Each structure stands twice: as C-alpha cells, then as structure tokens.
Amino acid sequence: MNYDLCVLGLGYIGLPTASIFATRGKKVLGVDVVPCVVDTINRGEIHIEEPDLDVLVRAAVHSGNLRAALKPEPAETFVVAVPTPFKVTTTNPKAPDLAYVESATRSIAMVVEAGNLIILESTSPVGTTELMRDWLFDELSKVRPEKAASLIGALLFAHCPERILPGQMLKELVANDRIAGGLTPAASEAARDLYRTFCVGEIFLTDARTAEMCKLTENASRDVGIAFANELSLICDRLGIDVWELIQLANRHPRVKILQPGPGVGGHCIAVDPWFIVDAAPDIARLIRTAREVNDAKPQYVIERVKTCSERFRSPVIACLGLAFKADVDDLRESPAMDIVRHLAAEKVGSIIVVEPHISELPKALKGLVKLTSLDSAVAAADVVVLLVNHQEFLAFNRRNLDGKAVIDTRGVWR
C-alpha cells in the first residue's frame, strides 16, 4: 500500500510526530533500524518516556493508521527525524555527523516518486537540506539511473524543525508555531499544508537555509543565556554570594531576565546545536563558542567541589541525585549529570550511589561502577549528597533528612 507519510527515525521526535499524524487520519509508516523498537511500537507500546505518548501510540496503532517497519515503503511524504550527533575530525572534535541523515535519505531512493515531499526535521547544520537532495540524486543515479534526472527535479525538499520540550512534547507539537523552509516556494507551501493537519500554531514560510539557521539560533541563544548564569554562579561562589538570591533580585528589574545556573547543559539540542554554528563560521562565532565552553566546563567544576567535600570523610559515600539532562524526563542524552557521575566513579572519589526515578536500570556507561537505588536509601547511606537534577521527587524530599550530610545543591532548590 501507499502511505501518506513515511517517518524515518522513531525516537523522541519521530515517534510523537508519526503518532499524531496517524491519529489525525493519515496512514503512516514509521521506520527504525532497531528491531526491538519496531516490535515495541507494533504492539502499541513505547520505548521512551513521555507523558501521554503511550496513549497516543496505542490509539494510532490500534486504529490501523500507524505501522512500524525496518525499511521505508512508498509514501506521499517522507519525514527524516534521525539523530545528528558529533564526530571527531582532524580539525574539530565537535564536527556535525550527518551519517544518519545521509543513510536515511539514501534509503528512500528505491521508493520515491515524482511529486513526493521530503522533509528534514532533524536539527542540522545550514545546507543539510541541499545535501539531502544531492545524496538522493546520487543514490537514484546508482539504483534507478533511467529515472534519476526526471525524479530529482520533481521532488520537493523542505526543512521543518521541531520546537518541542521533553515532558511537554504532545502539547507543544500542536500548539507551537512552526517554520516551513523549502528549497523552493512550492516545497515550503506543501510542508505548511501538511503540518496544518495538526498544528494550531502559526506556520511561517521561508527558505531551507533560514529554517536550518533559525533552529540553531534559538538554541544558541538559550545556551548563551545559561552560560551567563553559570559563569555568574562561579563568581558568586568565589565571593560568598548566594547566586539564586542574586538572580531573583536582579530579575526584579523590568528588562532583566537572567536564567538559572546548573551543573552544565544537556540534551540533544542546546548542548549540540551551537557547535553547528561554530563549525560553519569558526572565525566569527566567538561569543557562541565561549558560551559553549563555559557550559561544557561546568560539570568539571562540580566534580572538583564534590572531591573537595569528600576529602573530609575516610571512605565517602556519595549520593548523586539525577542522571537525566533535565527535570522529570528519562532522557540522558548529553546529560551533564551523567558526565559528573561517570567521572566521579572513574576517579574513585568514593562509593557512588545514584538516584534516577525515571529509569529502571543503569545505562551501559555506568553499569558496574555505581549503584542505582531509591532516594530514601541513598540519602540515608550518604556522607555527601549531590543534587544534579531538579526532579519533582527531589523537590518534595523532606530536607530534615539531610541533617548531618554534606550537601552540594547545583540547582538551588534546597537553599
């Protein structure tokens, strides 16, 4: 059968997107290269944690409008929502890695037809949508040489970045404004018409390069603001000032809105996207680079504080509260809390106990190095308690149970 949409990548972006289209009446094929992910979704279950996503996926699958598979099949629209991580090159340890985007793009060469719309949702460096067109033409020239030239000229390419926050994905998918940036005006308009299926926010038309840069700019702006707060926290530590009280007072100014400091910056957006701008213009992006360096250095500052605090104990037991990159999600990608715990364990600073209420087992990088346990058990056993993530469970914790413990609160919630 021909599907309305084929969504490549069924992770934190692809699965909600595929499911919401399916519940709005579209016939959707979701594609992922991991067999257990495909099997899980076809049972109407989910492999990631997100409020109400299980209900949406179950409804989409049981309606017959969503099916998962390992390979793409013919569709009117192809949506690429795969990871765009880093890779190390001889000149840049944080270079964009577009291997997943390229692989997904080439995988549709055998099934695309004239008039198809191909959308890149993955946050990507400027020019990636054009690269997709080139990769697809190259692959078509290999597998369908007789049709390559006519097909590539009859395909529509657009970049439509998501703007959703883990923990609020389903609400923000529908409510947030979107950008449809095509390689041609016709592609922008076709993408806009598609997202109107569920999006009640405004959809703005632009070109692909502007759309790509807009998503990077949004996250780089946040990163710069967080870097200011994190640098301020280092200065306040040296001067003996409560940084959270300081920010609260400074924010009383009608034109000041300082963000909150933390142990670093994580997630697959803010911790990654600014580097794509730096990679594109390394000689000009000085402020963006510096902000990234400030935020990337904050975990090491926390590690040194924990080491100093632990020196007063002969065999310190350290409870690290939180592994996720932000509150109340299970997403560990680029998490500064993960980096902190991993380094403390590797340096054998003490016995490390971890509390992360949103996972049931430790990630591979920490197995055999630390112990995962409950909040009450961890705090009871600990000499040093390090709050790394402001999960609701930690905010509600009875602070009297911290009496006699050395406490390092990187989120300012136990002040």
- Annotated active-site positions, please? 215, 269
CB 84 within 8 A of CB 103: no
Dist. CA 81–CA 31, nearest whole Å: 10
Distance CA 159, CA 399 (A): 48
Q: At 31, is the secondary structure helix, strand, or coil?
A: strand
Structure-token pair, residue 46: 């989910």
Q: Are strands 95-96 and 66-69 parallel, antiparallel or unpaired?
A: unpaired
240 — alpha (psi -120 to 50), left (phi > 0) or beta? Answer: left
Residue 408 in 3-state DSSP? strand
What is the distance between the terminal CA atoms of the chain, rounded to a whole angstrom?
59
- Smallest CA-to-CA distance from 244 within 257, 231, 229, 256 is with 229
DSSP letters, 304-341, are: HHHHHHHTTSSS-EEEEE--SSSTT----TT-HHHHHH
CB atoms within 10 A of CB 154: 13
Tally of CA atoms within 13 A in the half-sphere of 13 that contains its CB: 21
In Å, the largest CA–CA distance within the chain is: 76
Neighbours of 376 (CB within 10 A): 12
Rounded Cα–Cα distance for residues 194 and 347 (Å) = 52
**Sequence-separated (6 or more) residues with CB below 8 Å from residue 82:** 8, 9, 11, 14, 100, 101, 103, 104, 122
Quickly list H helices, 108-176. Answer: 128-143, 148-152, 169-175
